[in-house]
């Protein structure tokens, strides 16, 4: 996206436009670090003598929001090297049932914690559970295999009724898709799911884990999966840097009205 205002555009937008052109023309290649802020400030003060550091940072934030560059905490700002991670929620189970695995082979899975604990309030609210109810918690970190950079942090919350005392309490990657393990243990099949999406600023813990600056937004989803009898089988939450994720939602368009007046709730 470029500014259509030309010389009338704000300083930060004009600087963002120029840096965007530099990247498009190959002056800064994929994965390459942009010059330090001090060097960029000196460069653009030739055009804008009174340019402030905050205005320069506003220009860089524009490019980060567009996914063109990404900030690495304590290191610098880099041209985005990889395409955005694509997440397709609606067909995640069907694809996994074909071979028992999710299509994330390019990511390294780590389980830093697995054990019992209280369900967080926001998770309990999404799932209709009692706040503080004890469950089996499996925390995960997914990182790019090539660069080692973390791409996702999250956790799964599984009822004690069928998860207590099982291998799900061990901090190890399970041998097949987690939901297939839960189906085996519970004797029930995943039947219905509901996703709760948020776009927000990261917590300090999330920013550190994802190696992003506190000013980089994140996408947060809480996924509640139920059996045919409405039993909650799993609540999973995932947090991704907003500039590294692309959400794809593909579905059939209903031919029936949503209510008696023929109106939907959109």
Mention every residue, 6+ apart, whose C-beta is less than 8 A from residue 136.
114, 115, 116, 157, 158, 159, 160, 163, 164, 166, 168, 169
Partners of 107 in the β-ladder: 144
pLDDT at position 46 over 80: yes
CB 40 within 8 A of CB 69: no
Tens digits of residue pLDDT in 162-220: 999 999 999 999 988 999 999 999 999 999 999 999 999 999 999 999 988 777 899 99
Q: What's the pLDDT at 149?
A: 83
Nearest 5°: CA angle at 15, between 76 and 61? Answer: 45
Predicted confidence band of residue 1 (pLDDT cuts 50, 70, 90): very low
Average pLDDT, the chain: 86
- Percentages helix, strand, coil for the chain (3-state, rounded to 5) are 30, 30, 40
Q: Which residue has the tokens 């209510």?
A: 259
Instruction: Tell me how crowded residue 119 is: count the other CB atoms within 10 A of its CB.
Output: 21
What tokens were used for 205?
A: 């813990």
């Amino acid at each position: 996206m470029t500014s259509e205002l030309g010389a009338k555009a704000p300083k930060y937008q004009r600087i963002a436009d120029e840096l965007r052109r530099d990247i498009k023309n190959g002056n800064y290649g994929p994965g390459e670090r942009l010059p330090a802020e001090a060097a960029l400030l000196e460069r653009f003060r030739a055009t804008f003598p009174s340019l402030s550091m905050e205005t320069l940072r506003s220009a860089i934030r524009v490019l980060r929001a567009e996914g063109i560059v990404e900030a690495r905490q304590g290191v610098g700002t880099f041209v985005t090297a990889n395409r955005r991670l694509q997440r397709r929620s609606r067909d995640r189970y069907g694809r996994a049932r074909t071979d028992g695995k999710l299509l994330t082979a390019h990511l390294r899975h780590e389980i830093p914690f697995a054990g019992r604990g209280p369900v967080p309030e926001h998770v309990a609210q999404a799932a209709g559970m009692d706040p503080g109810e004890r469950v089996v918690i499996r925390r995960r970190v997914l990182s790019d295999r090539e660069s080692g950079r973390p791409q996702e942090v999250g956790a799964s919350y599984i009822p004690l009724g069928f998860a207590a005392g099982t291998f799900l309490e061990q901090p190890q990657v399970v041998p097949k898709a987690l939901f297939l393990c839960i189906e085996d243990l519970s004797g029930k099949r995943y039947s219905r799911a509901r996703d709760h999406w948020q776009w927000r600023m990261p917590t300090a813990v999330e920013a550190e884990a994802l190696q992003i600056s506190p000013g980089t937004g994140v996408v947060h989803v809480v996924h509640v999966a139920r059996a045919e009898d409405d039993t909650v089988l799993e609540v999973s939450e995932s947090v991704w840097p907003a500039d590294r994720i692309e959400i794809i939602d593909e579905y059939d368009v209903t031919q029936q009205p949503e209510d008696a007046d023929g109106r939907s709730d959109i």
